[in-house]
């Protein structure tokens, strides 16, 4: 699928679900190149995972004062994941993980906020110096919760 096809198809499906705060290129910046590897579009059947993650991200956006949630990395195909140093079974491969920043909130504060999510026992949560990783592993049948600290 080309970048234009991905954007058109994904944005249409997001609009059908009245999703306004996230876009196709935040979910997958198709065509982004890292170390000579170009990111491909995710399979459309995986969008159900993205919708679950969007529900979590919308909660994060609303809690502690409405502020934008910025996406550093969401979907990665296997080759792209490998060149950026992702783990082999990364939740990013499933459209079920995002590395995020919330405007006006430190990564540590953001991770603490996510711990208060009503379904935090179903989430993966990684603490990093400049961002927070959140994933929906328990919502798609993977063992949960998971926590790690790389600060």
- Residue 78 is predicted with a pLDDT of 97
Number of domains the chain contains: 1
Which structural domain range is residue 55 located in? 43-149
Asked whether residue 100 is assigned to any structural domain, the reply reads: yes
3-state SS assignment for residue 71? strand
Cα 70 → chain centroid: 10
3-state SS assignment for residue 132? strand
CATH at residue 48: 3.30.1380.10
Q: Give the whole-angstrom CA distance, residue 84 versus residue 73.
A: 10
Asked whether residue 103 is assigned to any structural domain, the reply reads: yes
What's the maximum distance between 2 C-alpha atoms anywhere in the chain? Answer: 41
pLDDT tens per residue across span 80-132: 999 999 999 999 999 999 999 999 999 999 999 999 999 999 999 999 999 99
DSSP state of 42: P
Is the pLDDT confidence value at 66 over 90? no
């Amino acid at each position: 699928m080309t970048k234009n096809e991905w954007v058109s198809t994904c944005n249409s499906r997001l609009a059908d679900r009245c999703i306004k705060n996230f876009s196709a290129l935040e979910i997958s910046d198709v065509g982004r190149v890292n170390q000579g590897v170009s990111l491909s579009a995710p399979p459309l059947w995986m969008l159900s995972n993205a919708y679950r993650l969007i529900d979590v991200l919308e909660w994060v956006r609303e809690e502690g004062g409405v502020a934008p949630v910025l996406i550093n990395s969401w979907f990665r195909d296997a080759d792209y994941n490998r060149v950026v140093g992702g783990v082999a079974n990364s939740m990013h491969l499933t459209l079920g993980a995002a590395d995020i920043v919330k405007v006006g909130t430190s990564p540590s504060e953001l991770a603490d906020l996510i711990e208060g999510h009503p379904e935090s026992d179903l989430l993966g949560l990684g603490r990093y110096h400049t961002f927070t990783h959140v994933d929906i592993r328990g919502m798609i049948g993977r063992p949960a919760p998971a926590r790690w600290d790389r600060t």
